[in-house]
Structure 1
Amino acid sequence: MNQQESKFIASAAIRLALSPDRDAERQLKEQLAQEGIKATAADYGGEFITSVQKVVERAVVAAKREGVIESTHQAEGGVAGAAREALSQIMPKAVGLNVGGKVGIARKGDHIAVAIFFAIGLLHLNEVAIGLGHRAI
């Protein structure tokens, strides 16, 4: 897989994480499937620290449910590792605050990307952020 393909897979995960609703998400997944990319997304929300484990679990469950990965230790660990990497990029902004958003997961061949979109809330002041992780499985 060349650098352009890895970049496209990362872009696909980010676009899924930013999709505004289930219809847009479904259309994007169909478009990506035509290009040989398996993809899925999952919503989440809650206090950041208590949500970390739930976000990682939802990413792995969604990827297995939608056939993006097989039910193997390597594949599940790849998704979990990429999700934790994405979460760690945003942690300094989100610790102690409520977060909500979507996880986007895209895979082609041995490469998988996990993008996490965060809306980080404090009263009526909101911040937004995206974390991205990549693994080869």
Structure 2
Amino acid sequence: MSDKPTGVFVRLPLSNEQLGKLLAPIGTLNERMISIGTPVTGGELTCTGTIAWFEKDREPSLASYCPALFKAGDSVPVTSLPIAQAQIAALEAEVVRLRGGLEKAHLSAILGDVDPIADLECCRKHIEEALKGGAA
């Protein structure tokens, strides 16, 4: 996978801070979009087959497939590439968000007070906030 972003996943609704970054006339629009969302660098999927619907046909048919990717008895569900890429982007964004919450908890543990109970409570708060999607 490439490190160059091919898209940006932005969770809605936008916060006032995100709106400010997006609407500020600083940098390019692409840079502003990346600043409010999670850059998506992946999304490349192995093509297992192609479905085609020719004008003269009553319904679509399997136009091509890669036999090496299947074994006898396989039943493979099919989805469109844009739908699969959107799902991958959403999962990548979720991983980034959860890592951020764990980093906050880790920093709280390292830089915490002398009171271990208060440190644990602060870590728990950061982890719960990450798991709730920031809605804590």
- Normalising by structure 1, we get a TM-score of 0.25
Of the two structures, which has the highest relative contact order with CA contacts closer than 8 Å and spacing of 6 or more? Answer: 1
Larger Rg: 2
Structure with higher strand content: 1
